[in-house]
Structure 1
Amino acid sequence: MANKAYKFRLYPTEEQEQLLAKTFGCVRFVYNKMLTEQQETYEKYKDDKETLKKQKFPTPAKYKKEFAWLKEVDSLALANAQINLQKAYTNFFSGRAEFPKFKNRKARQSYTTNVVNGNIMLLDGYIKLPKLKLVKIKQHREIPSHHIIKSCTVSRTKTGKYYVSILTEYEHPPVQKEVQAVVGLDFSMNGLFVDSEKGKKANYPRFYRQALEKLAKEQRILSRRKKGSSRWHKQRLKVAKLHEKIANQRKDFLHKESHKLVKRYDCVVIEDLNMKGMSQALHFGKSVADNAWGMFTTFLGYKLEEQGKKLIKIDKWFPSSKTCSCCGQVKKSLSLSERKFRCDCGFVADRDWNASINIKREGLRLLALI
């Protein structure tokens, strides 16, 4: 079985918007309440790990007697808040994440609800959701009939737009396509990536950099407004819309580029890079964030997997930039400012193209071992 999510725009009525705002607030309230109790328990038994593990996790039902208004919203949304917190604690104790943090109003507003006895259904131009009943939906593509709806996540952006992400489950027999066409991609700070075939660049437009001047102007105006005033809220919306536009442009570009690669190649080889460390160590924070290499590799990964194709990640310490793709000699000293790779054998090429060829060869070597 495999899962796939479909995201659509929602157009709730004023009454439904009020109920959604209540649900977001109740989910946040319950999450923070349970987290407070867990923190107290953790502080009390942190030296006794066995006793700490035996402590029962608080449930949303516990608070409904004291806070009757919790009964107004979807109970499954509150139950999912408990599940999310339990996952956060599991990740913390296993060393995969930091200690869970409190949620605030400025964070992403969303909640998840599950399918129980036909409480979620797609109808003609509407979606039936618990407590909300029928909500208008812009369904720009059909969900295949063999996909079974499992849950829905309703979210609200900072610009006031509502979306629903419908998680579906379907039978997906494992398909392995014969690997014929392989490409290596080297991360490029300027153009997202350079491929190994002809040294072709993705030519990423750097949407954030393009909008930087306009964004700075709007944020400057916002800083002069009295916080909480109607003019402040109006200006805050302008800034939020600009950020949302940049994010949407970036996502659209990355989807299209990853789709092109998946359509053309059976295997894509990339480096397993630590982008957070790179942005901090080399002071390339804005460029790294604007490129969104992590998002791009995620899109690439699931698109390849769906078609039975492969994404191979090679070791980040592999000297792809310092190795000559012609003779294999490794140049120990090669500064970031040197954009041309020159080898003693006479080979001269663009630094990133040379690296992408080496990445492809290392990927082919690893592919042979699978």
Structure 2
Amino acid sequence: MIVKTRIYQLYPNQTMKQVLDDWCDYRRYCWNQALALWQDLYMAHTILDKVVATVFIPKQDKKTKKWKAIHRDQHLNPSPNWRLVRDRMIEQKNDWQYAYSARTLQLAVQDLGKAWESFFNQAQPDWGKPKFRSKRNPRQGFKTDRAKIKDGRLWLEMPRETPYKDDWTGIKLSEKPLPGKIGVVSIVRINDKYYACVPYKLETPVSKAKTGKEAGIDVNVGHFNYQDGQCLILPDSLKHLYLKIKFYQKRLAKKRTVNGRIKGTQSNKYLKTKAKLQACYQRATNIQRDLMHKFTTKMADEYDQIVIESLDVKAMLMSHVASKGMQRSMFGLFRQLLAYKCAWYGKELILADQHYPSTQRCAVCGTVKKGADKITLKGNQKHGTKHNEYICYNPACPNYGKTVDRDVNAMKNLTLLISHPELNKAL
């Protein structure tokens, strides 16, 4: 069984739009209440950790056959977990909360528990602590596992005491849904537009036909190089859009300050400019996600074995060298999409070692550049070469003294790992 998720734009009527807005607010209320309760329980557990109570348990002596009482130390306050927080919140439920689905509260508390587990997980040291949600955030949403798709529409669970009982109806989807069972549906509101993430549980995975071809993909800022060409991930249309984003950001910075004080954030002109900026960001995201999906699907269709680099993207972003271009190139999204599509279609994805010198290694003779001969983002000062040029200085190499494109050379080195997996290490 595999899970395929589809994102649909929702077109609700006025009644269902009010329902979605109310449930988004209720999810935020449940999250904030659960987070406050969780922190109170954690502090109480920390303070009372050494306070114990004596519990007397009857026990029969084997020799005298008499009963005597023994004591056992027991903590007065249990450690917080999502089930304890959920039970406390259900006990303290107000009357107005029965107008909403009970699953909204339970799923919010369960997600908070996962966030705390990730925070205390040492494998994710950069994971942030759960924070309170703000109503000013343009992105709001909730989850439900009682939603159904019937006749091409999304039907939510109707509570018993809802005021919209007479006008409750299904919500139109932007595309025709897939057949099959669905899991937990996530509904998101972004700038007064509604989207639904629907996971489908498919029992028969579809395998693509084997082509017998293999490829290595070298990721770069603005383009990806692979066996049969190049994919531009920052086309000219995106460059023009980012210029508009830069223009609106300057306009917002000027409108934010009034007489030397930050007071203009609630003016009508400021809000209109902010809406235009958010629309540009949304359009840029849609264009790039469309490019990523098309490119990863093409790779999974045409190649049986694919090699990509395992990059430490966050460390690269902290270097402040082309960090904006790296962020816009979406290296992490590319790896995520390609990984699950290869798993869907029965293709093999190979991750090169993080320290594998694909850029510094000659794809013909295997010589690795070291020291002053290395190629950096500024090129090589010793030999006066550019950053996108690779020249092998091994006299025994057929490419000795020839200028080769650095990205093409790196792509060939990655493809070489398919036939020689022993090279997949730091050299």
1:129–1:135 Cα contact (<8 Å) kept: yes
Tell me if structure 1 keeps the 8 A contact 2:389–2:404.
yes
Task: Give the whole-Å Cα distance in 2 for the aligned partners of 1:268 and 1:4.
Answer: 21
TM-score norm. by structure 1 comes to 0.87
* Matched residue, 1:286: 324
What is the match of residue 339 of structure 1?
A: 388
**CA deviation after TM superposition for structure 1 residue 38, in Å:** 1.5
Deviating more after overlay: 245-254 vs 133-142: 133-142
Change (3 A) 1:222 1:54: closer
Q: 3-state SS of the aligned residue for 2:198?
A: strand
Mapping of 1:23-172 within 5 angstroms?
23-46=23-46, 54-55=79-80, 57-59=84-86, 62=89, 65=92, 67-95=94-122, 96=124, 97-105=127-135, 106=137, 108-115=139-146, 120-124=148-152, 126-131=153-158, 133-144=168-179, 147-158=180-191, 160-172=192-204
- Give how far 1:320 is off: 0.8
Displacement after TM superposition at 1:140 (Å): 1.9
Q: Helix, strand or coil: the match of 2:183?
A: strand
Instruction: Note the alpha carbon deviations across 1:350-369, whole angstroms, 9 max, x for none.
Output: 11111111111124333999
**Pairwise mapping of residues 172-183 of structure 1 onto structure 2 (< 5 A)?**
172=204, 180-183=212-215
Give the drift of 1:208: 5.0
Structure 2 partner of 1:318: 356
Letter in 1 for 2:389: K
Q: Distance between the aligned counterparts of 1:143 and 1:114, measured in 2?
A: 17
1:11–1:135 Cα contact (<8 Å) kept: no
The CA deviation at 1:296 is 1.3
The alignment partner of 2:265 has SS state of coil
Aligned-partner residue type, residue 324 of structure 2: K
Number of aligned residue pairs = 359
1:221 aligns to 2:251 (yes or no):
yes
CA contact (8 A) 2:34 2:85 kept: yes
Shift of 1:298: 1.3
In 1, the alpha carbon distance for the partners of 2:206 and 2:244 equals 48
Aligned partner of 1:234 among 272, 277, 288: 272
Cα shift at 1:233: 2.8
Alpha-carbon distance between aligned partners in 2 of 1:46 and 1:93, rounded to the nearest angstrom? 16
Q: Which moved more, 1:66-75 or 1:1-10?
A: 66-75
Tell me the CA shift for residue 36 of structure 1: 1.3
Specify whether residues 368 and 190 from structure 1 end up closer, same or farther in structure 2 by C-alpha distance, changes over 3 A only.
closer
Q: Which residue of 1 aligns with 2:61?
A: none
Residues 297, 74 of structure 1: alpha-carbon distance in 2 compared, 3 angstrom cutoff: same
How far, CA to CA, are the matches of 1:72 and 1:231 in structure 2?
Answer: 37
Give the Å deviation of 1:174. Answer: 9.4
Tell me which structure has the larger Cα radius of gyration: 2
> 1:182: how far off?
0.9
Give me the whole-angstrom Cα distance separating, in 1, the residues matched to 2:290 and 2:20: 28
What is the percentage of aligned positions where both structures have the same residue?
25
The aligned counterpart of 1:212 is 242
1:289 positional shift: 1.2
* Alignment check: 8 A CA contact 2:103 2:145 kept: yes
1:274 Cα deviation after fit? 1.1
Asked whether the equivalents of residues 3 and 202 of structure 2 are also in contact (C-alpha less than 8 Å), the reply is: yes
SS in 2 for 1:134: coil
User: Where in structure 2 are the equivalents of 1:180-191 lying within 5 Å?
Assistant: 180-191=212-223
Q: CA RMSD in A?
A: 2.8
Counterpart Cα distance in 2 of 1:255 and 1:352 = 22
Q: Residue type of the partner of 2:215? A: V
User: Gaps spanning 5+ residues in structure 2: where?
Assistant: 51-73, 159-163, 257-263, 380-386
Q: 8 Å contact 2:205–2:345 — kept in the other structure?
A: no
Comparing both structures, which one devotes a greater share of its residues to helix? Answer: 1
1:5 maps to amino acid: T
